[in-house]
Every structure is written in structure tokens, then in C-alpha cells.
């Protein structure tokens, strides 16, 4: 982290820790500030209870530190409550503590906030369970152990832990498969304390380097810490034992990664009493750090001296412990010579941190409100895009309605009234088919000297080739008569090339039809919302589609057969004559040709003319056949076939088939939950705004 910037202090000057502590109640718990602080703490607690942490960056404080860094002692010093300190990792799940100065009797409410599954995935509907109401501070430690065990348990209900002893809980922790090592779920602790301050924070498990039985726990805890300190509105309280270099602490590394500039990290140095006077290097380094001369943090560092195990076992009260801490810093070098006395002692740390949190909450209220409104609008818009939820009390009525709607849409589409893309796509296929047929037109080469070419498709037909065909088909014709068989040879050769383009066009249109049917079925207004019903409907349609396809293919083959085989005939004499004359004119063959050449040219002209007339007939008949036999025929009989099958299914099975698609159902439930939560969060923020203007309407801080 950057070096040498003096920390911003909530309190500066030469006042003694005792004097600073004496003013704490007036500064933090004064009537105006205290009321505002309690309302803000209550607001953030309510927002978190509503799941706001999953939507918003709610301001909060998070305690982190390496295992055995003294973090638990800091928590005890802040709360005045003993927390679990069994051997090994003390904190095995996040513990969220909310303290409020309350003139009534001391009390503590412990809750379990269950938001995550065992694998760390967020639950669809988090729950909060009231676990215990504690009136005696000395009982809190055991109840926290029980609550933590309930969070970690994989087999037992929370109530099963209410009477467990520490020994029984320890045995459960040691048993294989009974307890998880760590959890993302949270133990909540609400403390009402007449001597306390208004503060809320999250205590995370200590960062570990290894785990004796489960190596996966090391990255688990690291991930837990990282996900809890990444928010820009999270103040990171970094506990560091003064017996070690800061750089050696993994918690320091994680804090630096999350907060590279040190803008929201607060250092808390622990165990100053364990530094020997002879360890001048560490003493000097920590003195410089506390003075803001190294390892710069915007909010600086605090130094706290907490009771050792022997002192803790004596059960001293908060006042006595604070007096011992004050005496230590007033009498021990180099701390007693420090100028900035506000950097020493738990109470000074609490005082400053509480003010930072309250200020951060107030500063972020407008942006929180804006973000809630934005998220609410986005989720509402997404929810409204979903199909309207159906009441399946009358399944047959719904099915009949869906069949009718689907069939009307299909019929109108094949007639070009809806979904113009379908018509345009098919017209494109018909156009391609027409061009493919045009390319099969005979190419005649009238060059008298050209040698015969092969009879392959697309090759020019020469005069010699035509003469050869004429000669091969001569029988007892009179002079100047041309055998008709010669013309038929060339006509048949060209027409035989028509089948492949016709079948290709038909298959393209058939695929287009299948695509249309699937699109209509997937439409949420038809069957898209009902996976099982859609499968059944698709099966029925596929059978009818196949029948229509086979019949259409039969007709196409028949049309092709009529064109390929004699008689080659047309009644369109005018078009035939015009095409023949046009061919003669194009080749300028009216003069200077022999009688034999005139025969060859006549065959060429007749074949050309017939091709032009017959091909135009064919390129019209194929699309009309497809439209009539495939599309319109299927549209005309589809509704009756669907009714015939689906209306015979019993009501119970229809109801099952009308179950909404699981993905849509899940998405609707998730969006409904989000909208409900965001609405509740919005109302709670509005409630705070009203209470800020009318403090006498202050809501209960804790429920």
C-alpha cells in the first residue's frame, strides 16, 4: 500500500484515553446523534434481513484477520461478550453483530440467517430463524456455539441444539459427516446494552493456511472473506498481531487486493503486551505505523490491549477491563509517549468506527434508493415480458383454445397473411427453381463447320448432331418430312434435367414448413409454455406433415412424368409459334441454307419453342402443387386431427401436460421474489425518509 499519509482521526490532540472514553457516551449516544444512528443501524439491519445484500452494496463493517490474530478478542472488547474460543478456528461462519445503546435491561437476540446452500449457491428463498433470546451476557458464548453448530449441521434441525453442552457440541464437530467445517450462512446477534454504542459489523472466520482434515477449507475461507470485503461500501477492519510483520499476514494481502488504495481499511493492532522491550525493530515499526508514517490507510490504525486467558477467566466486567487497558497504554512505552491518544483503546476504536459507519450509510442513502428503483424497474419489465400465468382449472378449454389459435396462425401464415418471412423465403426457393430450369434450356450451335459434341447436359448441340439424330430416326417418310422422333429425342433430353431442381425446391420448402411449425409451436401464445403438450402436438403434426409431404412428392413426380414422356403437347400455339419465329430471327436463317440444313434448323427451332412453353408451364405447376398439396392441404386438416386426438385425453393427464415449462416457472418465481424484496426494500427506505423528518415516529430498532 502507499506510504506516509497521516490517517484521518475522528478525535485528535493530547487528551488521555480516559478523557476520550469519558466523552464517548456524550459524543456517540447524545440524544440527536444517537437517535439518528439507531435509525440508520436499524435501517441497514432491516435491509439485510430483506436480502438487500444480494442487490445492493449496503454499507457495513467486516472484521477479518488471520487465525490467532486476536480478532475474537477484539470482537469481545467491542461487544463486551465472550465469543467461542475452542481450539482451532473459533469462528466457522459469518457472525453479524448489531449493538445498540438501550436504556432498558441488557438482552441479546440470536438468529440464524440461511441464505446459501451447502455448495455456496444462493437459495431462492432465504429464511431467518430466531434461535435464542438471552438475558445473561455470560450465557451468550454457549448460545453462539449452539447457533454456529446449527448453521454447520448437515442433518439436525436448529431446535435440536438448544440443550447441547459445550462438550456435546465439540463431539459433534469431531464426528465425520455431521457438521460442515465452514458455512456461508450467518449467525446474527442483536445486543441491547445500556452501556454500549450503536454499531453493526460482520465477524468472519479467521484465515487459515491449512486444515487438518479437509484441504478444501483453506480456499473456502479465502473465498468467504473475498466475497464479503469486495463491496465499495464495506469498511474492512483488519486485525493484525503486533508480534508479526504486517506483510506476513494473509488478511493484509486480501485487504490490499480488495482495497488497493487503503481508502476503506481500518487497521487494528492487537497483542501489544506481547512485544518485548528488546524487540526494538517491531516496536519502532508499529509506532511509525500507528503514527501514519508507514503502511498508509485513510482511516489509520488503532491499537488495543485485550485480556489474556487468565484475565478473561476471572470474569471481570467491562469497566474493569477498560481501566486495565487504559492503564497499560498510559504506563507502557512507547505507547504512553504517543501524541495521538485517540489511536489507543477499544472504546476509541468503537467511537471512530461507529461514526464512520453512520456517515457512510447516510452518504449512500440516495444512491441506494436510486439503485433500488432501477433494479425494480428492470425486474418488473423482465417479469412483464413473461407469458401470463395460466389457471389450469379447465384444461380442456385451454387446450382447445391453444389448438384453435395455433391452427389459425398456421393457416394465415401459409396464405401469406401472417409472418411474411415464410412467404418471402418460399418465393425465394421458387425463384431459384425457375432459374435452375432455365439453365436446362437447349443450347444450339448453328455453325456449319462445328463438329458434334457429347450429349452431356449443358453442352451445345451442333448441326451435325441434329442431322445424326434425324438420320437415325428415318423410316419410310416421304421426302422433306422430318421424323418426329428426332424432335422427341431432344425434348426428352432437356426435360429429364427438370426433376432434380424440382425435388430440391420441394425439399427446401418442406424444411421451411417444418421450421415454421416449430416456431409456432414454440410461441408462448400456443404451446411453447407446455413442454409435454408441445411434444405430443408435434408428434401429431409430424404424422400429418409426413402424409402431406408424401402426397405432394407423388404429385410432383407425376407432373415430371407427364412432361418427360410423350405426348409432348401444348395448346398454346401462339406462344409456340412466337418462340419458334424468335429463334429463326435470332439466328438469321431465312436465306442461304440448303434443304438438309433447313430440316436441322427446324428441329432446333421446334425443340427451343417447346422448351420455352413447357418449362414455363412446369415452373408454375411445381410451386402451385407445393402450395396446394402441402401447405393448404395440411392447414385444412390439421385442426380436426389435433382435436380428434387431444380432446380424448382425460382431464388429469391434460392438467399434467399444461404444467408450465420449468425454466419459465423458475424464472417467474425468481423475478416475483426479487420484485417483492425490492419493493419491501424501497418501502423501508421510504419509511426511513419519513422518520428522518419526523423522529418521534422512529420505528423499533430491533424486532
Residue ranges per structural domain of the chain: 17-379+684-697, 395-659
Return the pLDDT at 30: 52
Which SS3 state, helix, strand or coil, does residue 453 take? Answer: coil
Chain segment 56-110, per-residue pLDDT in tens = 999 999 999 998 888 888 998 898 888 887 654 456 889 999 998 888 899 999 9
Give the mean pLDDT of the chain: 86
Backbone torsions φ then ψ of 92, nearest 5 degrees: -110, 5
Q: What is each CA distance from 119 to 122, 123, 180, 182, 185, in whole angstroms?
A: 9, 10, 11, 11, 11
- Max avg pLDDT among 115-129, 403-417, 462-476: 403-417
Q: Give the cell for residue 76.
A: 469481545
- H or E element, residue 682: helix 662-693
Confidence of residue 16 (pLDDT cuts 50, 70, 90): very low
What gap in Å lies between CA 703 and CA 46, rounded to an integer?
A: 10
Return the pLDDT at 17: 34
CA 196 to chain centre: 43
Q: Which residues pair with 462 in a beta bridge?
A: 445
Mean pLDDT of 367-385: 95
- Max avg pLDDT among 88-92, 417-421, 433-437, 456-460: 433-437
Backbone torsions φ then ψ of 131, nearest 5 degrees: -100, -40
Confidence of residue 3 (pLDDT cuts 50, 70, 90): very low
Closest CA to 507 of 562, 429, 559, 424: 429
Return the pLDDT at 592: 63
In SS3 terms, 74-119 reads as: HHHHHHCCCCCCCCCCCCCCCEEEEEEECCCCCEEEEEEEEEECCC
What gap in Å lies between CA 145 and CA 138, rounded to an integer?
A: 13
With beta carbons less than 8 A apart as the criterion, state whether 151 and 112 touch: yes
Residue 700 has pLDDT above 70, yes or no: no
Return the pLDDT at 133: 96
Confidence of residue 149 (pLDDT cuts 50, 70, 90): very high
What gap in Å lies between CA 399 and CA 415, rounded to an integer?
A: 24
The domain 17-379+684-697 having CATH identifier 3.40.50.300: the answer here is yes
What gap in Å lies between CA 308 and CA 324, rounded to an integer?
A: 12
Chain segment 455-514, per-residue pLDDT in tens = 555 688 888 898 899 889 988 887 778 899 999 999 999 999 999 999 999 999 999 999
Residue 362 has pLDDT above 80, yes or no: yes
Return the pLDDT at 433: 98
Question: Which CATH number is 395-659's, of 1.20.120.1240, 3.40.50.300, 1.20.810.10, 3.40.50.720?
Answer: 1.20.120.1240
With beta carbons less than 8 A apart as the criterion, state whether 600 and 444 touch: no
More confident of the two residues 226 and 446: 226
With beta carbons less than 8 A apart as the criterion, state whether 329 and 287 touch: no
Return the pLDDT at 70: 86
CB atoms within 10 A of CB 391: 8
Confidence of residue 12 (pLDDT cuts 50, 70, 90): very low
The predicted model scores a pTM of 0.66
More confident of the two residues 131 and 390: 131
8-12, 112-116, 156-160, 210-214: segment of lowest average pLDDT? 8-12
Q: What is each CA distance from 506 to 412, 629, 635, in whole angstroms?
A: 21, 11, 17
Residue 20 has pLDDT above 70, yes or no: no
What gap in Å lies between CA 89 and CA 104, rounded to an integer?
A: 34
Chain segment 232-273, per-residue pLDDT in tens = 999 999 999 998 888 888 999 999 999 999 999 999 999 999
- H or E element, residue 303: strand 301-303
- Max avg pLDDT among 76-90, 127-141, 618-632: 618-632
Return the pLDDT at 88: 45
What gap in Å lies between CA 131 and CA 456, rounded to an integer?
A: 91
Amino acid at each position: 500500500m502507499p506510504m506516509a499519509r497521516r490517517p484521518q482521526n475522528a478525535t485528535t490532540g493530547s487528551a488521555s484515553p480516559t478523557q476520550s472514553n469519558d466523552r464517548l457516551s456524550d459524543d456517540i449516544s447524545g440524544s440527536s446523534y444517537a437517535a439518528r444512528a439507531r435509525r440508520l443501524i436499524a435501517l441497514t439491519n432491516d435491509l439485510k434481513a430483506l436480502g438487500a445484500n444480494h442487490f445492493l452494496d449496503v454499507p457495513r463493517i467486516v472484521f477479518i484477520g488471520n487465525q490467532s490474530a486476536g480478532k475474537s478478542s477484539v470482537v469481545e472488547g467491542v461487544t463486551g461478550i465472550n465469543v467461542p474460543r475452542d481450539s482451532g478456528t473459533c469462528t466457522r461462519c459469518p457472525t453479524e453483530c448489531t449493538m445498540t445503546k438501550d436504556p432498558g435491561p441488557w438482552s441479546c437476540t440470536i438468529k440464524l440467517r440461511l441464505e446459501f446452500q451447502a455448495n455456496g449457491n444462493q437459495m431462492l428463498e432465504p429464511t431467518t430463524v430466531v434461535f435464542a433470546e438471552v438475558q445473561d451476557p455470560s450465557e451468550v458464548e454457549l448460545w453462539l456455539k449452539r447457533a454456529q453448530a446449527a448453521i454447520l449441521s448437515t442433518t439436525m434441525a436448529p431446535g435440536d441444539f438448544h440443550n447441547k453442552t459445550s462438550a456435546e457440541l465439540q463431539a459433534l464437530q469431531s464426528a465425520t459427516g455431521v457438521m460442515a467445517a465452514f458455512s456461508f450462512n450467518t449467525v446474527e446477534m442483536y445486543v441491547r446494552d445500556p452501556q454500549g454504542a450503536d454499531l453493526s459489523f460482520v465477524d468472519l472466520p479467521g484465515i487459515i493456511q491449512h486444515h487438518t482434515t479437509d484441504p478444501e477449507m483453506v480456499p473456502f475461507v479465502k473465498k468467504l472473506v473475498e466475497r464479503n470485503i469486495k463491496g465499495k461500501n464495506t469498511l474492512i477492519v483488519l486485525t493484525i498481531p503486533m508480534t508479526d510483520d504486517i506483510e506476513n499476514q494473509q488478511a493484509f494481502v486480501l485487504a490490499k487486493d480488495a482495497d488497493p488504495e487503503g481508502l476503506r481499511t481500518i487497521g487494528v493492532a492487537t497483542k501489544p503486551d506481547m512485544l518485548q522491550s528488546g524487540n526494538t525493530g517491531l516496536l519502532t515499526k508499529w509506532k511509525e505505523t500507528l503514527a501514519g508514517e508507514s503502511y498508509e490507510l485513510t482511516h489509520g490504525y488503532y491499537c488495543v490491549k485485550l485480556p489474556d486467558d487468565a484475565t478473561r477467566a476471572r470474569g471481570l466486567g467491562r469497566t474493569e477491563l477498560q481501566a486495565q487497558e487504559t492503564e497499560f497504554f498510559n504506563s507502557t512505552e512507547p505507547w504512553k509517549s504517543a501524541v495521538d491518544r485517540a489511536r489507543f483503546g477499544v472504546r476509541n476504536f468503537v467511537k471512530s468506527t461507529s461514526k464512520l459507519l453512520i456517515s457512510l450509510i447516510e452518504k449512500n442513502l440516495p444512491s441506494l434508493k436510486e439503485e433500488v428503483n432501477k433494479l425494480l424497474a428492470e425486474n418488473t419489465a423482465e417479469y412483464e415480458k413473461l407469458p401470463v400465468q395460466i389457471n389450469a382449472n379447465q384444461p380442456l378449454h385451454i387446450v382447445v383454445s391453444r389448438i384453435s389459435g395455433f391452427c389459425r396462425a398456421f393457416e394465415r401464415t401459409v396464405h401469406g397473411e401472417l409472418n411474411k418471412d415464410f412467404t418471402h423465403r418460399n418465393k425465394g426457393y421458387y425463384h431459384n427453381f425457375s432459374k435452375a430450369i432455365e439453365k436446362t434450356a437447349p443450347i444450339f450451335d448453328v455453325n456449319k463447320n462445328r463438329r458434334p459434341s457429347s450429349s452431356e447436359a449443358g453442352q451445345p448441340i451442333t448441326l451435325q448432331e441434329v442431322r445424326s439424330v434425324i438420320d437415325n430416326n428415318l423410316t419410310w417418310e416421304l421426302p422433306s418430312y422430318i421424323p418426329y422422333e428426332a424432335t422427341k429425342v431432344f425434348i426428352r433430353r432437356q426435360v429429364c434435367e427438370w426433376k432434380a431442381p424440382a425435388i430440391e425446391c420441394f425439399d427446401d420448402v418442406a424444411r421451411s414448413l417444418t421450421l415454421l411449425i416449430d416456431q409456432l409451436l414454440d410461441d408462448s401464445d400456443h404451446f411453447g409454455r407446455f413442454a409435454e403438450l408441445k411434444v405430443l402436438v408435434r408428434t401429431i403434426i409430424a404424422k400429418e406433415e409426413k402424409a402431406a409431404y408424401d402426397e405432394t412428392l407423388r404429385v410432383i413426380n407425376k407432373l415430371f412424368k407427364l412432361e418427360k414422356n410423350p405426348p409432348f403437347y401444348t395448346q398454346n400455339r401462339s406462344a409456340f409459334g412466337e418462340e419458334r419465329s424468335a429463334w429463326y430471327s435470332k439466328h438469321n436463317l431465312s436465306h442461304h441454307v440448303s434443304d438438309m440444313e433447313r430440316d436441322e434448323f427446324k428441329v432446333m427451332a421446334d425443340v427451343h419453342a417447346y422448351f420455352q412453353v413447357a418449362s414455363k408451364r412446369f415452373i408454375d405447376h411445381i410451386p402451385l402443387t407445393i402450395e396446394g398439396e402441402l401447405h393448404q392441404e395440411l392447414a385444412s386438416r390439421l385442426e380436426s386431427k389435433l382435436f380428434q386426438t387431444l380432446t380424448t385425453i382425460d382431464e388429469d393427464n391434460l392438467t399434467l401436460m399444461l404444467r408450465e415449462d420449468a425454466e419459465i416457472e423458475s424464472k417467474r418465481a425468481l423475478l416475483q421474489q426479487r420484485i417483492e424484496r425490492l419493493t419491501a426494500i424501497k418501502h423501508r427506505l421510504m419509511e426511513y425518509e419519513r422518520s428522518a423528518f419526523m423522529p418521534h415516529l422512529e420505528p423499533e430498532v430491533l424486532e
